[in-house]
């Protein structure tokens, strides 16, 4: 069902001493990653399990399809120690058998800047070969949903879920203009998806869901206007003698330093500086 989003399936071979990394390259901008955050990052299906003569699991093959923006690599673990038994209590550990799998999603409610930064660091999947084949997900930016339990398509529309997640997020209006611009773009994308969803006759939107989408779109519009105003104010020049992006605090610090220099400098030097800075 996600064939139009994911790349061609690739078969990987792993053992207990290897780790699978999925990371976002540094060259991919935050604006490009915005549409990918609302879709599954990767889909994982166990293809083959290899046992030795003592019926001990030693190797596994799996089929992985991933979004084209991400890079997948299998590396050896730095330490060759046995896995910690406490990992069996990890709630992010998934036991998968032949033919079973899961999908990786980014957690809803996280700001795009945090999601993109953590995805650039990479998501690691460790493998445990005991009585069953298990996958351990250690990062908090993603969540693994078993294929048989992935009912996201049967829940409320994706546009409604994304709108609720954005409205529930606490935006920091003191962020840099670049981060504010990313937040504005995210809201624009969600609003465009809502408009497209409501305009398509094939969806036959229920009246209750349509009313919720219109209400949330209005709230998103208010938040977007507030972000646009904050972004505009951050680019305005409060003083023509200073740069547009110069902070007021820095200007005050410089003024205090100049006052200290004028008090400590000799009178003839201060007079010379005053004459040099006089307007013609």
Rounded Cα distance, 144 and 42, in Å: 10
Q: Which of 96, 126, 153 is the last residue of a domain?
A: 153
Q: Structure tokens of 142?
A: 């993603």
* Average confidence (pLDDT) per 10 residues, the chain, 280 residues: 69 87 83 76 89 84 88 75 41 80 84 83 85 78 84 70 80 80 88 86 70 87 87 69 57 78 80 73
Q: Which of 101, 122, 153 is the last residue of a domain?
A: 153
Q: Which of 108, 144, 145 is nearest to 123 (CA)?
A: 144
Q: Is residue 163 part of a domain?
A: no
- Half-sphere exposure of 265 toward its Cβ, with a 13 Å CA cutoff? 14
Q: Do residues 226 and 254 share a domain? A: no
Q: Do residues 123 and 176 share a domain? A: no
Print the domain residue range for 273. Answer: 248-277
Q: What integer pLDDT is reported at residue 236 of this predicted model?
A: 67
**Residue 201 CB: number of other CB atoms within 10 A?**
6
Residues near 258 by beta carbon (within 8 Å), at least 6 away in sequence: none
Q: What integer pLDDT is reported at residue 83 of this predicted model?
A: 44
Q: Is residue 242 part of a domain?
A: no
**CA of 94: how far to CAs of 131, 138, 161, in Å?**
13, 12, 25
Q: Do residues 203 and 129 share a domain? A: no
Q: What integer pLDDT is reported at residue 279 of this predicted model?
A: 59
Q: Do residues 14 and 145 share a domain? A: yes
Q: Is residue 164 part of a domain?
A: no
Q: Which of 188, 105, 196 is nearest to 151 (CA)?
A: 105
Q: What integer pLDDT is reported at residue 267 of this predicted model?
A: 80
Tens of pLDDT, residues 48-82:
888 888 888 888 889 998 888 888 998 887 644 44
pTM of the model: 0.56
């Amino acid at each position: 069902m996600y064939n139009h989003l994911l790349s061609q399936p690739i078969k990987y071979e792993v053992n207990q001493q290897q780790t699978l990394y999925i990371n976002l390259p540094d060259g991919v901008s935050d604006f490009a990653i915005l549409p990918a955050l609302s879709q599954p990052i990767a889909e994982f299906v166990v293809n083959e399990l290899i046992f030795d003569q003592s019926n001990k699991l030693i190797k596994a093959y799996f089929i992985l399809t991933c979004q084209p923006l991400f890079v997948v690599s299998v590396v050896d673990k730095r330490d060759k120690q046995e896995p910690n038994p406490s990992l069996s209590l990890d709630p992010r550990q998934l036991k998968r058998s032949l033919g079973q799998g899961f999908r990786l999603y980014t957690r809803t409610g996280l700001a795009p800047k945090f999601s993109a930064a953590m995805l650039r660091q990479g998501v690691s999947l460790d493998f445990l070969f005991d009585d069953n084949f298990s996958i351990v997900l250690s990062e908090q930016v993603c969540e693994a949903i078993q294929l048989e339990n992935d009912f996201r398509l049967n829940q409320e529309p994706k546009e409604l879920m994304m709108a609720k997640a954005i409205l529930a997020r606490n935006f920091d209006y003191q962020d840099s203009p670049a981060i504010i611009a990313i937040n504005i773009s995210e809201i624009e994308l969600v609003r465009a998806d809502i408009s497209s969803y409501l305009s398509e006759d094939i969806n036959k939107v229920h009246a209750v869901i349509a009313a919720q989408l219109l209400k949330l779109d209005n709230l998103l519009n208010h938040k977007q206007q507030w972000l646009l105003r904050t972004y505009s104010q951050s680019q305005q020049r409060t003083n023509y003698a200073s740069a547009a992006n110069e902070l007021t605090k820095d200007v005050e610090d410089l003024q205090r330093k100049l006052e200290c220099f004028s008090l400590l400098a000799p009178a003839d030097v201060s007079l010379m500086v005053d004459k040099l800075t006089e307007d013609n």
